[in-house]
């Protein structure tokens, strides 16, 4: 399976494009934020007028308040959707209306300031860059003298226009980034979940993952029992029968042949036990490290498996075991179900955690709720990690696990 490497011109292009794309997204997000701020301002004017006139019709006060609250929640939801879509700030808002109204009102000054400065920035960029382009196209550019100590320099007016245009564009992007950061901070501070909400959510997650871990352990025990019953136990029974026949027989030659068969069965039994023990927990994980254990999995696979490991330090035992079993299950699925021709395993150190990606070039259509992947998800979530499966029909399939480091 051919996959672009992290090195080369493509990586440089992605590294250069990433901040530009982010800046463009934030510019769009801030522009949409100006629109939501104008809507909020209109809502605030209408709310002030309605509440000021409500004493004239006291029976409708409750209804007016309900309508204003409903529209405030809608405006807040729309603005939070803007933050999540364009400013990389998904926020799960609180249920209360008060914090939402405070967020909407407090962000109005910055948003209106951006709305006032945006036309000026667009005009300046257009004048500088458009003028430079026009001079370059018509050949009417001039030179601008720049006095220097002991020398005289001349700079093309086209260069000046380009410099000023790009500088104005960069300043606009920085201002948009600052406005987006302000919106993100306000949203997280005012409408994001409170400390009590976070603690309650964390307790719910721990309760769920504890139950999932218990279920995963039970399933693993049942799998080991099946392996012992269907494989090891059958060979032990066959070995006992061979030895029993050899002991009861009177023909020395036949008894010797039966003993030889029993010896061969013993070797098969040992191989079966080693396989079961390897599936329970590989010794190489403790003796040689995670990379060696993954390499052993690749060597055992009937498919060509490439292992790419980039770790700054050996991970803790629990995280290493979770990564190992996830990679092994993903490779097993690629062999059994995906009809893949090859598999690539990536393990990268993110600094704050580990990222595992297992890619195969099979037919795709993997079920994320399948038994093996479900068990892996429980193991990953027990360590506060995440597991995702991207497997469109026709392939390829990517199993991605991210585990935080303690």
What digits encode the pLDDT tens for the residues 327-381? 888 888 888 877 888 899 999 988 888 999 999 888 887 776 665 667 777 778 8
What confidence score (pLDDT) does residue 3 get?
A: 47
Chain-wide mean pLDDT for the chain?
Answer: 82
């909020």: which residue's tokens?
40
What confidence score (pLDDT) does residue 75 get?
A: 95
Which of 98-102, 199-203, 227-231, 290-294 is most confident? 98-102
Closest CA to 309 of 358, 272, 266: 358
Q: Are 352 and 391 in contact (CB under 8 A)?
A: no
- Average pLDDT of the residues in 236-253: 77
How do the domains of the chain map onto residue ranges? Answer: 16-192, 197-280, 284-404
> Rounded to whole angstroms, how far apart are CA atoms 99 and 147?
57
- Cis peptide bond prior to 396, omega within 30° of 0: yes
- Average pLDDT of the residues in 132-159: 77
CATH fold label, 284-404: Heat Shock Protein 90 (3.30.565)
Residue 275 scores a pLDDT above 70: no
Integer CA distances (angstroms), 124 to 165, 180, 252, 351, in order: 7, 22, 105, 42
| Phi, psi angles (nearest 5°) of residue 6 | -75, -15
Q: Are 260 and 234 in contact (CB under 8 A)?
A: no
Residue 1 scores a pLDDT above 60: no
- Average pLDDT of the residues in 243-254: 78
What confidence score (pLDDT) does residue 6 get?
A: 43
Model confidence, pTM: 0.57
What confidence score (pLDDT) does residue 215 get?
A: 66
Residues in Cβ contact with 368 at an 8 Å cutoff, skipping those fewer than 6 apart: 388, 389, 391
Residues in Cβ contact with 175 at an 8 Å cutoff, skipping those fewer than 6 apart: 114, 117, 121
Q: Are 327 and 373 in contact (CB under 8 A)?
A: no
Residue 7 scores a pLDDT above 50: no
Residue 62 scores a pLDDT above 90: no
What confidence score (pLDDT) does residue 152 get?
A: 67
What confidence score (pLDDT) does residue 5 get?
A: 44
Residue 229 scores a pLDDT above 80: no
pLDDT in tens, 329-341: 888 888 887 788 8
Half-sphere exposure of residue 96: CA atoms within 13 angstroms, side-chain side = 11
- Average pLDDT of the residues in 377-392: 83
Q: Are 361 and 368 in contact (CB under 8 A)?
A: no
Q: What's the 3-state SS for 342-391?
A: CEEEEEEECCCEEEEEEEECCCCCCCCCCHHHHHHHHHHHCCCCEEEEEC
Count of residues for the chain?
Answer: 406
Residue 14 scores a pLDDT above 70: no
- Average pLDDT of the residues in 87-105: 88
Choose between 5 and 280: higher pLDDT. Answer: 280
* Range with the poorest average pLDDT among 155-159, 202-206, 254-258, 384-388: 202-206
């Amino acid at each position: 399976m051919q996959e672009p490497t992290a090195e080369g011109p493509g990586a440089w292009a992605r590294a250069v494009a990433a901040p530009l794309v982010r800046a463009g997204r934030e510019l769009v997000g801030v522009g949409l934020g100006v629109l939501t701020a104008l809507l909020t301002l209109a809502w605030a004017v209408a709310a002030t007028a309605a509440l000021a006139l409500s004493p004239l019709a006291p029976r409708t006060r409750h209804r007016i308040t309900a309508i204003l609250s409903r529209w405030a929640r809608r405006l807040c939801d729309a603005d939070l959707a803007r933050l999540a879509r364009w400013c990389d700030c998904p926020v799960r808002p609180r249920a209360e209306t008060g914090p939402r109204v405070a967020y909407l009102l407090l962000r109005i000054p910055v948003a209106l300031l951006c709305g006032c400065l945006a036309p000026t920035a667009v005009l300046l960029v257009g004048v500088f860059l458009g003028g430079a382009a026009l001079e370059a196209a018509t050949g009417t550019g001039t030179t601008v003298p720049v006095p220097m100590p002991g020398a005289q320099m001349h700079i093309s007016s086209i260069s000046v226009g380009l410099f000023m245009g790009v500088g104005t564009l960069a300043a606009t992007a920085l201002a948009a980034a600052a406005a987006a950061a302000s919106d993100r901070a306000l949203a997280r501070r005012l409408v994001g979940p409170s400390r009590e909400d976070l603690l309650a959510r964390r307790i719910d997650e721990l309760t769920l993952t504890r139950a999932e871990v218990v279920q995963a352990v039970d399933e693993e025990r049942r799998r080991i029992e099946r392996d012992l019953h269907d494989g090891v136990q059958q060979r032990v029974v066959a070995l006992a029968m061979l030895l029993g026949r050899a002991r009861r027989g009177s023909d020395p030659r036949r008894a010797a042949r039966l003993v030889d068969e029993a010896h061969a069965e013993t070797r098969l039994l040992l191989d079966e036990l080693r396989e079961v023990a390897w599936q329970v927990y590989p010794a190489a994980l403790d003796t040689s490290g995670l990379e060696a254990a993954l390499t052993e999995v690749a060597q055992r696979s009937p498919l060509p498996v490439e292992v790419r490991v980039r770790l700054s330090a050996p991970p803790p035992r629990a995280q290493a075991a979770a990564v190992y079993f996830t990679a092994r299950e993903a490779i097993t699925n690629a062999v059994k179900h995906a009809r893949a021709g090859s598999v690539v395993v990536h393990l990268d150190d993110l600094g704050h955690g580990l990222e595992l990606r297992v890619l195969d070039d099979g037919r795709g259509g993997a079920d994320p709720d399948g038994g093996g992947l479900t068990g892996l998800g429980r193991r990953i979530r027990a360590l506060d990690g995440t597991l995702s499966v991207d497997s469109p029909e026709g392939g390829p399939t990517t199993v991605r696990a991210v585990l935080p480091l303690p």
